[in-house]
Amino acid sequence: MIRKALKVEGMTCQHCVQTVSETVGKMAGIQKVEVNLEQKLVNVEFEESLSTIDDISAQIVEAGFEIVED
């Protein structure tokens, strides 16, 4: 099990939170998704053999948000 936090720009409301949660949550191997609107963070736990952090990032971008690299 891998745990990662992604900084996501473009989330402005609870609908955005729901969109990100549902988009990531339906991916293979995702165990847990927590979205923090105030901190603009998406914390995710996943099985790397089924989904990678790049896959997760790509889905978030496809949903209309931007991943911010540290």
Residues 11-56 pLDDT 10s:
999 999 999 999 999 999 999 999 999 999 999 999 999 999 999 9
Query: Residues 41, 6: contact at Cβ < 8 Å?
Result: yes
What is the Rg, in whole angstroms, of the alpha carbon atoms belonging to the chain? Answer: 11
**Domain membership of residue 28 as a residue range:** 2-68
Query: Residues 42, 60: contact at Cβ < 8 Å?
Result: yes
**How many distinct structural domains can be found in the chain?**
1
- The letter for the amino acid at 27 is M
Angle, helices 53-62 vs 14-25, to 10°: value is 140
CATH classification at residue 61: 3.30.70.100
pLDDT category at 69 given cuts 50, 70, 90 is confident
Residue in this structure with the two tokens 């099985």, named with its chain if needed: 47
What is the predicted pLDDT for the residue at 11? 97
